[in-house]
Structure formats: C-alpha cells, structure tokens
Chains A and B, each alone.
Chain A
Amino acid sequence: MALDRWIALIFFVICGVYGYTAFFLMDAGLPPFMQRNPIWPSTFPKVLAILGMICSLVILAGFEKSQKEPEAMDINYRRLTDYNLGQAVLLICLMILYAFSLRPIGFLVSTVLFLVMAAATLGERRFVVLIPVALIAAGSIWYLVQEVLGIFLRPWPMGF
C-alpha cells in the first residue's frame, strides 16, 4: 500500500475518534437549556466527521488515481536515506531543544546556541564568522522585538 493510502487510513481513524467524541461523549455534559437549541456544539463536528470519513474511504479505495508524474523536484520518500536525513532529524531535535530552552536560559543565549549549532550541523566550520553573525542577529532581533515592537522577550537566563 502506498504512503498516501496509509495516510488516508490514519485520517480515517482520526475522523472516527473525532466523530465518536462528537456523537457519544460531547453531548453528555450539555446543559439542559442548550439542548433546546437547534444547534449543539457537537452538530458541526458530527457533519465534519462523516464527511472526513467518506473522503478518506474514497482515497483508501483508490477511486482516484493521481496522474501526476514524479517530478525532479519532488523527494522520493522510498529512498529517503539517500538524502541528508540525519541532518534533518538533528535540526528538528535542535528546534525542540530550542523550544524548551527559551524560557529557562533566555532568548539571547538560546538563540545564539541554536543558530551556531544549526549551522554547524549543516557543515559550517568557520566559527570566526558564524559566532559574531549569530550574536549580532540575536541581539538586533531582540532589540527590534522588545524595544521597537514592544513585545516582551526574556533576554537573560532566569534569575538575572
């Protein structure tokens, strides 16, 4: 089974769970005065769940074949290991680390670390250039956001 049909199957399950919630669980806690309304919080989700399940079934059944020729620009997921998969996974991990570090160690430190480590992951080795660039970028963006736009960003680690 091709990837697109696996995905359709997953979406079918998601729509099913969503529909189950809408049909059987949501209305239980509905206050009596709302039950007299022609529309309930679950009405629209019920319609969506049914439509979503129909659509995913159509794709699963293969009624519609994509006639698109594989393009040179597209990435062939069957040969994913031929690409820089390791780098991509590392960068995604770095982004998650960045999300967790923003609050405890502050915007400036975590941003400089993120930019330097991400560039290093991609193969950049001229740290003499890289570190000043990251420092200037983090500093100027912090200044823009905090001072010009007036949005609070914690610059330093907690406790400073």
Chain B
Amino acid sequence: MLEGLMVGLSTAFSFTNILMIIGGCLIGTFIGMLPGLGPMSIIAIMIPVAIGIGDPSAALILLAGVYYGAIFGGSTSSILINAPGVASTVATSFDGYPLARQGKAGKALTIAAISSFSGGTLGAVLLLIFAPMLASVALLFHSSEYFALMVVGLSAIAAFAGSGQVFKALLMTIIGLIMSTVGEGALFNLPRFTGGIMDLQSGFGFITLAMAMFALPEAIYLVLDPKRSQQEDGSKTGEIKELRITREEARAILPVIGRQSVQGFLIGVLPGAGATIASFLGYAVERNIARKEEQEQIGEGSVKGLAAPETANNAACTGSFVPLLTLGIPGSGTTAILLGALIALNVSPGPRLMIDEPDIFWAVIISMYLGNLVLLILNLPLIPYIAKILAVPRNYLIPFILFFTLMGAYIGQNNATELLLLVGFGVIATILRFADYPLAPLLIGFILGRMLEDNFARAMQLYDGPAFLWERPMTTGLLLLACLLIFLPAYRARRARLRAEGVADAD
C-alpha cells in the first residue's frame, strides 16, 4: 500500500495534474454557484474536455475537482440567495440563509468553507485508510437493505421536520416519490403516468423541480414582500462585514465537524445514500443531540446547523468514490457519470484497479486532498467578491434570479415545456409554502424515488414476493427503525399538546 501511495503522490504532484485540480475546482465553483447547474450537469459537460486530455488520471483528477468545486459553489448560492442549485446543499440553506439575512453572510461563508474543507480532508484521510476495508462492508448490503436504508433516510427527513409537521413532511415525501414514477423507468421499459404527453416520457427533470421548489418561491416571496431583501436593521445585505469567526463559534463547530466527517463519509460509501442524504441526516442528528437552547437556534441561523450539512456533504462526496473505485458501482448520479467517463478512457474500475493501475487509484485519492486545499485557498479570499451579488439592487436582482432559474431548466433540454412545468410547479410550491408544507422532502423523495423502486423491485424478484421484509433481519430492523422515527415524534407532540390542554392523563 505504501508503494502505491508513493506512486500516487508522484502522479498527483506533477505540474499538469496540479493545474487540473486548480482548474477543475475553479470551473466547478463558478458554474456551481449559478443556481440550476448542479455537479451532474457540469461533469457531463466537462466529459468531452476530460476525454480530450487522454491521460486517465489527469482526466479523473479534473472531474473530481469540478465535482468538489460545484458542491462548494452550490453552498454559496444556498447561503446568499437561498437557491440551492444542488440537492446536497439544500440543508445548507436551512441555517445558512437565515445567517445571511441577519447580516452574517461573511461568517456563514467562512464556516461553510472551513466545514467543507475539513469534511473533505478528513474524508480523504478516511478513504486512504479504509478504502480497501469499507468495500467489503458495502458488499454485505443487498438490495433489500438498500431499500430499507432509503426508507429510513426518508423517514428521518420527515421525522425531523419539526413538531406538528411530521405528516406534512411525510406527505410531501410521498408526493415526491409519486412524481418520480412518472415517465419511462429503466426497470420496465414502459411509460407510466405520462397521460400520453411526449414531454413527460423521460419524467420530470430534477433540476426543473429543484428550481421550482426553492428558487422560484423565494423569488416570488421577494417580489411579494419588498422588506425581505433588506436586513432587519435596515442596512442592505451584501456588505460582508465579518469574515472571521469567534473562538466560541470555532469551539462549537469543532465536534460537529469531527462527527459529521465520519458519519458523512460512511453514508457516502453506501450506494444510493450520497451527499444529499448525508447532509440531511447530518443536520438532523446534530439537531437532535444539541442542547435544548441550541436546538431552538437551529433553523434560525445556527453555526452548528450550517457546519453539519456542509461537512457531511463533502465527506460523503469523498466517500462516494469508494464504491466507484473499489467495486466499480456508482453510488450516485454524479459518480455514475464519472463511471461513464472512466469507461470511455479505457479504465475499468473495480477491485482490480488498485492492483493493475495503482497510479490512477492513488493519484485520485491524493488529488482529493489537494482539491480541498485549493478550495479553501481559492474560496476564502474570494468570499467578499462572491458576496457582491447581494449588493445588486432589487429591481435587477429579481429579474436575474428568475432568468437564471429559467435558464437552469432550459439549458441542455432546449425544451420550452420544461419552463412551463417550472413555472407551474413554482406557483404550486409557493402556495404550499404559504400553508407551511416543507418543500425539501418532496425533492428528496423525488431524487430517491427511482433508486428506491429499483432496489425494492430487485429484492421482490430475488425473494419472489415481499418475503424479504421479514426474512432478512437487517431489513426488518431498519424498517422498524423507520416506523419508530415517524411515530415517536408524532406521538410525543400529540401527547404534549393534549397535556397542555389538560386532557391527557398524567403518567
């Protein structure tokens, strides 16, 4: 292993490859910041460039750099304008955007940069140590466990939606799952629920839905209520006054970073659960274990609530390379695109990659560490310039947000129907927001829907029926955990309410 590490070090530190890391991170950050262009589309666009390079390790290093940059750019737009262009930074906006609205945008961006760096770096170290071992853990999971694991993930998201919101969140998750069944799946080769409309044949676009759920309602809210684009104290947002974080804040986020790096990495290793689940689960876990007074802060602009998803999503990005590099199984849509690029470059990822082509394997791992370093050096000094976007007057900002939202859905599809869907769903999402329905669960349900059904179908086929639900102890255990997650908070909230009304018996 040490020998491979040395080969990897010498490959990664070559001039071209360092250039690739810097270039990839830069491109990723800038494009990722635009709402609507997520890592998947950016990597897909960069593939021809990467193949043009010819050298597989350089190409993979470039694409990995783009991936990190895009995730970071996504968190920047989540914090500043509450428009997560990437699903894995949705949780970032929960606390990042309130912080920006309190005039602490600079602080929020610094915390995001540091958490991303630490998460990614610790993840890279873990990858370095555990890559060979963790592959065998992931091998133990069958499709029925993946199915159960995704159910747990979705229930956890609903369970942590807040008191009195559990069933609303659950309903939104199910609506998201229902929306994911529209179109032609790989499983059956049959169009379902398209109503004969050709444009629905391939289902709803993820980016269209993401824009409709987050960017558009926010823009409509900005239009409806002009006070929203100003800070509470009346001064304009956009001035980044305080980049530095205090010693107390550093002390508060340090354990969060430690925990979430490990947890995020482990979740990232499991195919199907990736950066998105890691960030939501990280947020939920930190919220649950926080002290009472801190718990109330989370969601209103807490540094812990910001650090948790940021650390977890970057650690999970690193983790998602484990199954790709060691098993040749992509754990997420993004790594699936990377897998396609690797095959085009005549590299077959799998257990033999480490032995046959150690320079590629280790160079990618080393470059991940370097990539995180570049992101920190590149992003921290750029933060005040990035945040200038908030100083743009409202009359210009809103048309441009609307325009970028529309472009995000239009680019690559060249399809006006997508834009009509976007506007329609955006209006519906705004109304749902009026009625306090959480929107994130819908999107998560939609993203996971297809994978959930695939694994469910595979398990059904393997066991010739739903017997896997009770014949596999791990599946049963995970599903019971999911039930517990949903009913416990609902039951407790109901009892607390009844007791407050003086109806419930004291026990």
Residues of A within 8 A of B (CB): 2-4, 6-8, 11, 14-15, 18, 21, 26, 34, 37-39, 41, 43-45, 48-49, 51-52, 55-56, 58-59, 63-68, 73, 75, 77, 80, 83-85, 87-88, 91-92, 95-96, 98-100, 102-103, 111, 114-115, 118-119, 122-124, 130, 133, 137, 141, 145, 149-153
Give every chain A residue within 8 A of B423 (Cβ-Cβ): 92, 95-96, 99
B399 touches A115 (CB 8 A): yes
* B45 close to A150 (CB less than 8 A): yes
- Tell me if A52 and B174 are in contact (CB < 8 A): yes
Query: What chain B residues lie within 8 Å of A119 (beta carbons)?
Result: 395-396, 399
- Contact partners of B399 in chain A: CB under 8 A: 114-115, 118-119, 122
Whether B246 is near chain A, meaning CB under 8 Å from some CB there, is no
Q: Is the CB of A68 within 8 A of B162?
A: yes
Instruction: From B427, B436, B456, give the contact of A66 (CB < 8 A).
Output: B436
B407 touches A141 (CB 8 A): yes
Nearest-CB distance from A30 to chain B (Å)? 8
A-B contact pairs, 11 of them (CB 8 A): A4-B437, A18-B178, A39-B461, A44-B181, A52-B171, A64-B494, A68-B164, A84-B225, A98-B406, A118-B398, A153-B414
The yes or no answer to B188 lying at the interface (CB within 8 A) is yes
Q: How far is the CB of A7 from chain B (nearest CB, A)?
A: 5
**Contact flags B140-164 to A (C-beta < 8 A → 1, else 0):** 0000000000000000000000111
Q: A99-B420, A149-B45 are in contact. Are A118 and B402 (CB under 8 A)?
A: yes
Contact pattern, B 199-238, Cβ under 8 Å of A = 1, otherwise 0? 0000000000000000000001101111010000000000
- Is B165 an interface position by the 8 A CB rule? yes
Known contacts A75-B434, A119-B395, A11 near B171 by CB under 8 Å: yes
- Please pick, from B420, B436, B456, B490, the residue contacting A68 in the complex, using a CB distance under 8 A: B436
CB distance from A22 to the nearest CB of B (A): 9
Q: How far is the CA of A21 from the CA of B192 in the complex (A)?
A: 10
Bound together, the chains give a CA A98 to CA B45 distance in angstroms of 25
Cβ-defined contact, B174 with A48, below 8 A: yes
Contacts of B493 in A (CB 8 A): 64, 67
Q: Does B197 contact A (CB under 8 A)?
A: no
Check if B465 sits within 8 Å of A122, measured CB to CB: no
Q: How far is the CA of A151 from the CA of B395 in the complex (A)?
A: 29
Contact of B435 among A3, A87, A141, A150 (CB under 8 A): A3
Task: Report the minimum CB–CB distance from B231 to chain A (whole Å).
Answer: 12
Say which residue of A3, A44, A64, A145 sits within 8 Å of B456 (CB atoms). Answer: A44
A26 touches B192 (CB 8 A): yes
Of the residues A59, A87, A118, contact of B171 by C-beta under 8 Å: A59
A37 to B400, CA, bound (A): 51
- Extra contacts, 7 of them, besides A38-B464, A63-B494, A66-B163 (Cβ < 8 A), are A14-B178, A38-B460, A88-B224, A91-B398, A96-B423, A115-B400, A122-B398
Q: Which of B35-79 contact A (CB under 8 A)?
A: 45, 48
Q: How does the 8 Å CB contact mask read for B157-190 relative to A, with 1 for contact and 0 for none?
A: 0000011111110110011011001000101101
Assess whether B241 is interfacial by the CB under 8 Å rule.
Answer: no
Q: In the complex, what distance in Å separates the CA atom of A91 from the CA atom of B419?
A: 14
A30 to B402 Cα, complex, angstroms: 43
Name the distance in Å between B479's Cβ and chain A's nearest Cβ: 13
Contact yes or no, B497 A65, CB < 8 A: yes
The answer to whether B419 and A102 touch across the interface, beta carbons within 8 angstroms, is yes
Q: Is B394 an interface residue (CB 8 A)?
A: yes
Name A31's closest neighbour in chain B (CB-CB).
B190
Chain A residues near B398 (CB-CB < 8 A)? 91, 118, 122
The 0/1 profile, CB within 8 Å of A marked 1, for residues 422-438 of chain B is: 01001100011011110
What CA separation (Å) do A18 and B457 show in the bound complex? 20
B239 sits at the interface (CB 8 A): no
Q: Could you tell me if B178 and A15 are in contact, using CB atoms closer than 8 angstroms?
A: yes
Q: Given contacts A52-B174, A55-B174, is CB(A100)–CB(B416) below 8 Å?
A: yes
With A15-B178, A63-B167, A122-B223 already in contact, the answer to whether A7 and B435 are too (CB < 8 A) is: yes
What are the residues of chain A within 8 A of B221 when measuring CB–CB?
75
Chain A residues with CB under 8 A of B170: 55
Bound CA span A120–B278, Å: 43
Point out the residues of chain A lying under 8 angstroms from B223, CB to CB.
84, 87-88, 91, 122
Instruction: Kindly report which residue of chain B lies nearest to residue A124, judged by CB atoms.
Output: B395
Are A67 and B497 in contact, CB atoms less than 8 angstroms apart? yes
Contact of A64 among B166, B406, B437 (CB under 8 A): B166
> Which 8 A-B pairs rank lowest in CB-CB distance, beginning with the nearest?
A99-B419, A118-B399, A124-B395, A77-B434, A66-B164, A4-B435, A83-B224, A55-B171
Of residues 369 through 420 on chain B, the ones whose CB sits less than 8 Å from some CB of chain A are 394-396, 398-400, 402-403, 406-407, 410-412, 414, 416, 419-420
B171-A56 in contact (CB<8A): yes
Most A Cβ at <10 Å: residue of B167, B185, B437: B167
- Residues of B close to A65: CB separation below 8 A: 164, 497
In the complex, which residue of chain A has the Cβ closest to the Cβ of B190? A41
Question: Which residue on A lies nearest to B421, using beta carbons?
Answer: A99
Q: Is B420 in contact with A96, judged by CB distance below 8 angstroms? A: yes
The distance in angstroms between the C-alpha atoms of A63 and B37, with both chains bound, is 40
Contact A92 B427 (CB under 8 A): yes
Could you say which residues of chain A place their CB within 8 Å of the CB of B48? Answer: 150
Residue of A44, A96, A124 with highest tally of chain B CB at under 10 A: A44
Task: Specify the chain B residue showing the minimal Cβ separation from A145.
Answer: B411
- The distance from the CB of B35 to the nearest CB of chain A, in whole angstroms, is 14
Q: Please, which residues of chain B bring their CB within 8 A of the CB of A80?
A: 224
